[in-house]
Structure 1
C-alpha cells in the first residue's frame, strides 16, 4: 500500500532550484519519492510504501 504527501511550493526570486533540491532530498531520506510536480511548480506530490 502507498501513502502520499502533497507539498505546496512557494516560488521566490532566488535559489529556487537549490531550495527545491534540498526539500526533495530531505523527504527522500524519509523514504518519499517524487511522483509529480505541477506545471507551475506550486504543488509537489510524493509517495512511499506505507508498510516500510
Structure 2
C-alpha cells in the first residue's frame, strides 16, 4: 500500500534551487519519492510504501 504527501513549493522554494534541492533530498531520506512536480500549481507529490 502506498501513502502520499503533497507540498506547496511556491512559498520559500520558488526561485531558490538550493532550498528546493534540500527539500527534495530531505524527503528522499525519509523514503519519499517524487511522482509529480506540477509547475502550474506549484506543488510536489511524493509517494512511499506505507509499510516500509
Same fold flag (TM > 0.5): yes
Instruction: Provide, for residues 24-50 of structure 1, a one-character-per-residue CA deviation record: whole Å limited to 9, x for no partner.
Output: 000111100011110336100000000
For residues 22 and 50 of structure 1, what CA distance do their matches in structure 2 show? 23
* Uncovered stretches (5+) of structure 1, i.e. residues with no partner: none
Match of 1:3 in 2: 3
Q: Which runs of 5+ in 2 are unaligned?
A: none
- What's the TM-score, normalizing by structure 2? 0.83
Q: TM-score, normalised by structure 1?
A: 0.83
User: Is the aligned partner of 1:48 residue 2:23?
Assistant: no
- Alignment root-mean-square deviation, CA: 2.0
